[in-house]
């Protein structure tokens, strides 16, 4: 589970990412990102009913995305707000395929610090 400091929760903040942020797409994932004034990166996950009608499956996808973000959060540049959107088809991918897509997304968005 992501630490509280790294969770993007408020609707106002998520809407700001959608309005002002840059968008990147890879496979069945969309990443939206915008700069913030905070010291740590914050992440939100959106898995709509278009992906699956079953809440259990949507929650499983959300947990997978959250775990991958938790493992990479220390390498993400400071002061960024991120929103990861799942699109239909992601439910058929396994953990490693999703992780590879997230790695590509973060490199495209130039979010990873070396």
Contact partners, residue 22, CB within 8 Å, separation at least 6: 32, 33, 34, 109
Residues spanned by the domain of 47: 4-108
Q: Can you read off the two tokens belonging to residue 77?
A: 């540049």
- Report if residue 33 sits inside a domain: yes
Q: How far apart are CA 90 and CA 42, in angstroms?
A: 22
- Report if residue 113 sits inside a domain: no
Q: pLDDT band for position 8 (50/70/90)? A: very high
- Report if residue 114 sits inside a domain: no
The gap from C-alpha 71 to its chain's centroid, in whole angstroms, comes to 12
CATH number at 22 reads 3.30.230.10
pTM of the model: 0.92
- Report if residue 71 sits inside a domain: yes
Length of the chain (residues): 114
The mean pLDDT of the chain is 94
Model confidence over 74-83: pLDDT tens digits?
999 999 999 9
């Amino acid at each position: 589970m992501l630490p509280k400091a790294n969770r993007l929760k408020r609707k106002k903040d998520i809407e700001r990412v959608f309005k002002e942020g840059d968008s990147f797409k890879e496979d069945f994932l969309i990443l939206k990102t915008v700069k913030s004034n905070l010291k740590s990166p914050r992440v939100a996950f959106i898995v709509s009913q278009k992906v699956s009608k079953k809440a259990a499956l949507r929650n499983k996808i959300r947990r997978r995305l959250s775990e991958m973000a938790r493992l990479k959060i220390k390498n993400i540049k400071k002061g960024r707000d991120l929103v990861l959107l799942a699109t239909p088809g992601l439910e058929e991918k396994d953990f490693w395929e999703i992780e590879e897509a997230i790695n590509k997304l973060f490199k495209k968005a130039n979010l990873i610090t070396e």
